[in-house]
Amino acid sequence: MAKPKTNYVCNECGAEASQWFGRCPSCGTYNSLEEQFLPQSASHPSRGLQSSQRNGKSAAKIPQARASLTFAQITDNHQERWSSGYDELDRVLGGGIVPGSLVLIGGDPGIGKSTLLLQTANQLAQRYRILYVCGEESGQQVKLRASRLGVANTNPDEEENGGASVEVEPTVSVEAPVKSIPGAAADLYVLAETDLEEIIRELEALRPNVAVIDSVQTIYLPSLTSAAGSVAQVRECTAALMKVAKGENITLLIVGHVTKEGAIAGPKVLEHLVDTVLYFEGDRFASHRLLRSVKNRFGATHEIGVFEMIDRGLREVSNPSELFLGNRDEVVPGTALVVACEGTRPIVVELQALVSPTSYSSPRRSTTGVDYNRLLQILAVLEKRVGIPLSKLDAYVASAGGLNVEEPAVDLGMAIAVVASFRDRIVDPSTVLIGEVGLGGQVRAVSQMELRLKEAAKLGFKKAIVPKGQKFPELGLEIIPVAKVIDAIIAAIPPQHHADEEMLEEDED
């Protein structure tokens, strides 16, 4: 009998080695290599054919394709989507939940991943059979958290009798039927288990439409000697869950922990195995949360959904511009309004700038929510092309609400906010600024301009300063095209004597 082949796999980075090392050659972690037995494969199917050809024997039949199909042979069934009960989540998923898909949700501890999935599971349980697998909590703890969130497992027929469930508008007209199983109706079932074999047996027995795994780092495969959460365990558990999900057409919503760098913990193959990767992010000290898509096989990437954390859990925000506009009644110098795009969603954001004399040998520059390097570039352009002396002044720029707006389309708003703070002037609060600032001082066009202008018009803005050279339909906005930054400054911040004349006219009226 042949000796079984082995290799050594690092628990931290997943690197493989043919022999044991006290220190991983890839990541440098000590005592992280673990021995694994390679599966014994049968003789290669082509070897018998090659040997028969060498012996002068020919095959009786010409080999034919057995399992592969052409596109014409594959049945074209329209794939329906299920509504999750939250329009923001459906937007990020590309229009709803795809049956049989694997969705991985990552985020910092305490950001609200389990809260989002528990509320979503409750909404889906009104129409489908849902299994909630919790590896971090007991069943009693999950029920306690559900009662705190106001989660009620009432069916739609019970709503007339005083049920506390929330009415859900379905995304698709055709809903998937609940698989018929005696004694198991459409409801939310909780399983407190970390053994993957037990979880798979429950999935095959209950056959839910959707299953939530909270989290993949807590479950383990008994046949592996490594601890739960190791690279080998995460990889093998995810692969086994994917096989069951695709075979039984079960949608899996999987929670993934993140590292201190913000990436999902475990091997990179984890993100390759799943169909969709979502990141739930936001400041723990702020109320809003952003659900961002970074991979989606069934929809667009870089879409975002906006939620707000309240005492009863997460509430979706249908108009996120209200969160990031700030107080428009009391306008102060150094503020400007921009229209940023996250995927296909335009959001009006208020940028705030503060320019003041420095008390240090070298001036300080600080940003919150905007790109630090873009600020340095804009300060250099304003000093070189416009002639504003900023080299000995501190400069601070922040976005209202802490939303990250790092796209080039906010360059013009950042430049105008800095100039307004330097001159101690107020930018018209009914004006939005859209455009990229080049190193030569020119204002360049950006993508999705019409979508941004429609959002500004919908929110009641009167003027928009945009790059020159584009034509737009009538949107109810006064479009001011500019070619250079100096032109935008003149349009957004009129000279002092013009402002004084307007104030005198208002006093006379």
Residue 183 CB neighbours (<10 A)? 4
Choose among 356, 353, 416, 337: nearest CA to 381: 416
Its CATH architecture, for the domain 323-508, is: 2-Layer Sandwich (3.30)
Written out in words, the top-level CATH class of the domain with range 87-318 is alpha beta
Give the residue-averaged pLDDT of 443-465: 93
Lowest mean pLDDT among 35-44, 209-218, 317-326: 35-44
pTM assigned to the model: 0.76
Rounded CA separation 484/443 (Å): 5
pLDDT digits (tens, 9 = 90+) for 211-260: 999 989 999 999 887 788 888 888 899 999 999 999 999 999 999 988 77
Rounded CA separation 31/242 (Å): 30
- Give Cα 6 distance to the centre of its chain: 39
Note the pLDDT of residue 223: 86
Give the confidence band of 158 by pLDDT, cuts at 50, 70, 90. Answer: very low
- Give Cα 229 distance to the centre of its chain: 23
Give the confidence band of 302 by pLDDT, cuts at 50, 70, 90. Answer: confident
Rounded CA separation 124/130 (Å): 7
E strands, 269-344, are: 276-281, 288-296, 304-310, 313-316, 335-342
Residues 6+ apart with CB under 8 A from 26: 10, 13, 15
Judging by beta carbons within 10 Å of its beta carbon (0-12, 13-18, 19+), is residue 503 exposed, middle or buried?
A: exposed
Give the confidence band of 37 by pLDDT, cuts at 50, 70, 90. Answer: confident
**What residue type is assigned to position 303 of the chain?**
E
Rounded CA separation 429/335 (Å): 9
Residue 63 confidence (pLDDT) above 70: no
Please report where in the chains the tokens 């202008």 appear, as a residue.
453
**DSSP H helices in 249-348:** 269-273, 321-324
Which residue would you say has higher pLDDT here, 342 or 219?
219
Please report where in the chains the tokens 């100096």 appear, as a residue.
486
Which residue would you say has higher pLDDT here, 242 or 180?
242
Rounded CA separation 337/409 (Å): 12
Note the pLDDT of residue 328: 66
Lowest mean pLDDT among 9-23, 210-224, 406-420: 9-23
Residue 480 confidence (pLDDT) above 90: yes
Percent of all residues in the chain with a pLDDT value above 70, rounded to a whole number: 82
Residue 166 confidence (pLDDT) above 50: no
When the pLDDT of each residue in the chain is averaged and rounded to a whole number, the result is 83
pLDDT digits (tens, 9 = 90+) for 117-129: 999 999 999 999 9
Strand order in the sheet with 6-10: 16-17, 6-10, 33-37
Rounded CA separation 354/133 (Å): 49
Residue 402 confidence (pLDDT) above 80: no
Give the residue-averaged pLDDT of 123-136: 93
Note the pLDDT of residue 178: 57
Choose among 79, 160, 151: nearest CA to 114: 151
The span from the first CA to the last CA of the chain, in angstroms, equals 103
pLDDT digits (tens, 9 = 90+) for 349-366: 999 999 999 988 899 999
Residues 6+ apart with CB under 8 A from 183: none
Give the confidence band of 184 by pLDDT, cuts at 50, 70, 90. Answer: low
Residue 209 confidence (pLDDT) above 90: yes
Choose among 496, 449, 492: nearest CA to 468: 449
